[in-house]
Amino acid sequence: GPPRHVTARVAPLGSRLVLVLVEDRTRERRVEAVRRDFVANVSHELKTPVGAIKLLAEAVCDASDDPEAVERFASRMSLESDRLTGLVQQIIELSRLQADDPLEMPDPVDLDDIIAMAVDTSAIDAGSKNIQVVTSGTSGLEVFGNHEQVSAAVSNLVSNAVSYSRPDSTVLVTTKAEDGVVDISVVDQGIGIPSNEIDRIFERFYRVDPARHRSTGGTGLGLSIVKHVAATHGGDIRVWSVEGQGSTFTLTLPQHVPSGADASPEHPHR
């Protein structure tokens, strides 16, 4: 296996007795390395929109006698700063997630609310491309976890499905429970993912061909947030995709079955 980082401390307890404390710091080192990497990536990613805003500001100054150009540069500046805001929000979300890893106090989480909210949030983007977002499957399901995290994961999947879909298509969000877990699937008829890229899409900041869908203004962090949520919940995220035809992302989370759910009409968690 990989080299382990072990420290040993020796404390003499008497002339013939010593106490040896051995501490395995491998995990700590790894966490440190991941954090260093993350900070380096974050700085790199922040530099791009900040650099663009700086250039646009200079262009505005130079074009002071051309009101049309000023307006064009200014609206691109506004777009770039929106992108920067989105990026900072996702970075904060991801570092918050990493802070409570693994989940300490799971709660029963109602999926209907979360899915309805994710669909609502994507409604403007979906509407502008005439995409129908429909829900199906079992309603009233609950998972065991953290409301905010599950909500972030589902929202990211639905908003990706809409972003990478063709106009006039359908996005389906479907739920089912089986063997103590709940599957939440988000199915789109969008651009799909090339099979040689599919292993990489869950990496932080990774985007398939950023130039191809620059207009979607993504950050490459959404799926790493989903993956993290799956991991902290002891769940799973899987993807099937055919390039040019569409993708299905399935998030699997541990099911919470309300005690006496089928015996009593009174729901204890509502």
Shortest spacing between CB 190 and ligand ADP, in angstroms: 5
Please, are residues 110 and 116 in contact by the beta-carbon 8 Å criterion? no
Shortest spacing between CB 109 and ligand ADP, in angstroms: 21
Interaction of residue 222 with ligand ADP, rule CB under 6 A: yes
Interaction of residue 219 with ligand ADP, rule CB under 6 A: yes
Q: Which position among 158, 193, 237, 251 is part of the footprint of ligand ADP (CB under 6 A)?
A: 193
Q: Which position among 45, 93, 142, 188 is part of the footprint of ligand ADP (CB under 6 A)?
A: 188
Q: How many residues make contact with ligand ADP (CB under 6 A)?
A: 21
Residue among 232 and 247 whose Cβ is closer to ligand ADP: 247
Residue among 163 and 255 whose Cβ is closer to ligand ADP: 163
Shortest spacing between CB 19 and ligand ADP, in angstroms: 49
Residue among 77 and 208 whose Cβ is closer to ligand ADP: 208
Q: Which position among 94, 111, 131, 191 is part of the footprint of ligand ADP (CB under 6 A)?
A: 191
Q: Which position among 154, 164, 187, 235 is part of the footprint of ligand ADP (CB under 6 A)?
A: 164
Binding residues for ligand ADP (CB under 6 A): 156, 160-161, 164, 188, 190-193, 201, 206-208, 218-224, 247
